[in-house]
Every structure is written in structure tokens, then in C-alpha cells.
Amino acid sequence: MTSIDTVFALSSGAGRSAVSVIRVSGPACGSLLCSLIGKMPKPRELALRVVRHPRTGEQLDKALAVWLPAPGSFTGEDCAELHLHGSTAVVSAVMAAMSDHPSVRPAEAGEFTKRAFLNGKMDLVEAEGMADLLEARTAAQRRQALRQMSGMPSFTFDDWRQQLLLIRADIEAVVDFADEPGVAEEAAAGIDARILNVLAQMTSAVERAAVGEAVRQGINVVLAGLPNTGKSSLLNAIARRDAAIVSDVPGTTRDAIEVSLDIRGIPVTLTDTAGLREDVADKVEREGVRRSELRIRDADILVWVWSSDVPGSATPVGEPSLVVQNKCDLESGLLRNESTSALFLSTRSGDGIPEFIEQLSTLLQLRFGDVESSLLVSARQITAARNSIRLLNEALAVSPGRLELKAEEIRLASEEIGRLTGKVGVEEWLGAIFSRFCIGK
């Protein structure tokens, strides 16, 4: 056991419901449960019990109780759950009765999962996966989170660390013989080949990490173009609501407007930006243009929107993934420019909108649909892997005659990989990671 206090929390959603679940974990869990329901249920079997206030004997509810003794529980500690009728009055009364018990207190955000990590029931990657699953809004985020929770990425990270530990052990085994002619050179050559093998695996994972991180955070799709090309109208058409103000006055959009979307299971943040133009007298609009330029630079997918009634708008800024010619319903000389490779649509009539969404969806699936290819999905994980890669490159640069220095660089590299799963000094990360959880998880 790693904790002294026994903690409790409402693990189901707050507010009125058919059933509310209160979870308890800690050394006083058994005595608390007995004080509330009397006879203890058999382990891991739901039992119907009357719930009474331990001090007054007042009946608080009639509920299902389950007893989960350590270590066979989520946290690795003694645990229990009460499945109550989901009224606010019942839940408040039961939680107040629990608070009366010595050494029992309400749980903090993420405390149950943190105890599970500290008691070895899951590693840090699996805990992050659980946090991501709780926040998942799309199918891609759900699949990625479940993969992190499955232990498959952790298995790979542990394999990298084990390979480095073996390399270091082999170096130390030959250090005593390094003064003999040719021994150091021969040992260093074989060791460097093994380091390069691990290094290649890590580098490949880091190169694929952008996909995982983007899916985790949401793909940034930015609509850019000159004023009055219909970017705001396109945003509203895709979002199917009036998220942005539409006007024929140039410079109406002054700041970025974001809409969260789920496009075939992939999370997307669609952003409408201020129209780009150089001759801007208004300070507010000039700041909007500056912010648009930043959004264009940071976009995962840039969509350039132009129309034939806005001179010069067909020439894109940046490197757009998609080019859209809006207002293709205009008459006579302002008809669509068939010589361009743009998608043609009209936000006024709705023509071309489904085709644009289909092409955007295809592009999203092509670039970000393969979430199973990403081992590293968070900034913390990517940083640890990059630090390890840097240290391994430094180990390769060490001369054959300094095997002890090479061993030290490999030790540091293995510690960085240990930080991925929480096997090595991650105290500074625990608060940030587990604070993301809701209370009761």
C-alpha cells in the first residue's frame, strides 16, 4: 500500500440519474462499508443492502454494494462501490455519512488512477491513455486512447529500455579488458551497431508522433484567403450554424473563430481567419491579419478560399492542402475559372459543399487516419524519446577508448525511456497528468 487515507467520490455523473455510483478506496474501506450496510458482501459480488447512517441509524437508501479486496481491485487497495438511487438527496446524505468516518476523506481529481499507478496496477502511458479515453470526442481519439491503455506501446518502450540496459551491462563487462590491444575497438563496433538499431526504432517512432499528437489534440484545419472570399460563410456552412458573422464589408472577421467538428471519427478544429491584405489602417484589423498569418503557419491542413469577384484572391499564401473557389454561382464574366485546380462551391446555394467535405475527409483519413501507427502521442512522451535519441547520438560520438563514458550516456538514455512508463523519476509529472482526470476516476 502506498496511501494512508481512505478516499471516496461520486464516480458517475453529477445530477439526477437512475443510478449513482460512489467509489471508495483505502485501508479503512472495509470498516466504512460495514458501518454503512452491516453485513459485508462476498468479494466481487453485488449484494442488495440497506444503507444507514453509522451514527444515527437513519436509512439513507437501499442500494447494491460490492466489495473488492486488495490487491484485486482497480487501485490495488481495498475498494468498494455503492450503486445508489441517483437523487441528489441520496448521494449527499451517503457522502456526508462517509465523511463522518475517521481517516476517510473526499478524493481529489484523478486520485483513484494515481493510486493504481503508484501500486503498480498500470504504468504512466496506460494512465495517460485512460485520461485521453475519458476526454475522447471522436472514434479516432477513442481508438488511440484504448491502444495506449492496452499496454502495447509500453511493451515497446520497455523493450527499448531493456536493450539499452543490456548494452550498458556488456560495456561494463569489457571495460576491465579495454587496455588489451584491439579489445576496445572490437567491443565499441559491436556496441555501436546495437545502439544504432535502437536509435532507428526510436527515431521512426518520433517521426510518426505528429499524427498521434494531432489526433489527441484535434487537427487544425484553417480557412484562409483575402477579405470577402466567403471564408466565414464556408465555416458556417460546414458547422451548420451561424458561428461567424457574415458581411460584405471587408475586414468583418477580426479574430480567429474556431468550431470543433467530428469528421468521420477524426477530431477537427476548423478555424476561420481574418482576410489577408496589406493596406490596413485599422489597428484591430491589422492585429487580426497578424494572427491569421500565425494560424496559417501552424495549420495542419490549410484551405485557401478565393472567389472570382475578389481580384488577386486566386494566388494563395503559404502551401494550401486544398484550394476552394467560392461563389461559383456568380453570373457571366465571374463564372468559375476552369483553368484552376480549385474545388468549386457556393456557400449561398450549397452547391459543392458536400464534395468539399468529402475531399477534406479523404485528406484527413490519409494523413491522420492511421492512429495505430503512433506509439508516442503526448508532448511528454515525445520529449522523453527525443532526449534519449540525443543521448544515444552522444554515446555514438564517444571514442572507442572511452567505453565508460559511452556507458554513462546509455544509462542516461535508458532513464529517459524509463520516464515514459514511469519506471524512473517522474514525480514532477504526476500532478500535471492526474489533475486531468475527473474526481472519482
In which band, very low, low, confident or very high, does the pLDDT at 178 lie, cut at 50, 70 and 90?
Answer: low
The predicted pLDDT at position 182 comes to: 53
SS3 for 247-262 is CCCCCCCCCCEEEEEE
φ and ψ at residue 351, rounded to 5 degrees: -60, 135
Close Cβ partners of 235 (under 8 Å, ≥ 6 residues apart): 223, 243, 244, 257, 259, 270, 272
In the block, cell 437508501 appears at 61
Q: Is the pLDDT of residue 203 over 70?
A: yes
374-399 per-position pLDDT tens digit: 899 988 899 999 999 999 999 999 88
Q: What angle do CA 326, 238, 252 make, to 5 degrees?
A: 60
Find the mean pLDDT for residues 184-209: 84
Q: How far is the C-alpha of 198 from the C-alpha of 389, rounded, in Å?
A: 9
Composition of the chain by helix, strand, coil, percent to 5: 45, 15, 35
The predicted pLDDT at position 173 comes to: 72
Helix and strand numbers (H, E) in the chain are 13, 12
DSSP state, residue 108:
P
Find the mean pLDDT for residues 135-159: 91
Residue type, 348: R
Judge contact between 409 and 388, C-beta under 8 A.
no
The predicted pLDDT at position 87 comes to: 92
Q: How far is the C-alpha of 277 from the C-alpha of 273, rounded, in Å?
A: 12
In which band, very low, low, confident or very high, does the pLDDT at 372 lie, cut at 50, 70 and 90?
Answer: confident
The predicted pLDDT at position 3 comes to: 52
Find the mean pLDDT for residues 182-200: 77
3-state DSSP call for residue 356? Answer: helix
The predicted pLDDT at position 1 comes to: 39
269-321 per-position pLDDT tens digit: 999 888 888 776 677 777 878 888 888 998 999 999 999 888 888 888 888 99
Q: How far is the C-alpha of 420 from the C-alpha of 95, rounded, in Å?
A: 37
Q: How far is the C-alpha of 113 from the C-alpha of 93, rounded, in Å?
A: 25
> What mean pLDDT, rounded, does the chain reach?
85
φ and ψ at residue 181, rounded to 5 degrees: -55, 130
φ and ψ at residue 65, rounded to 5 degrees: -125, 145
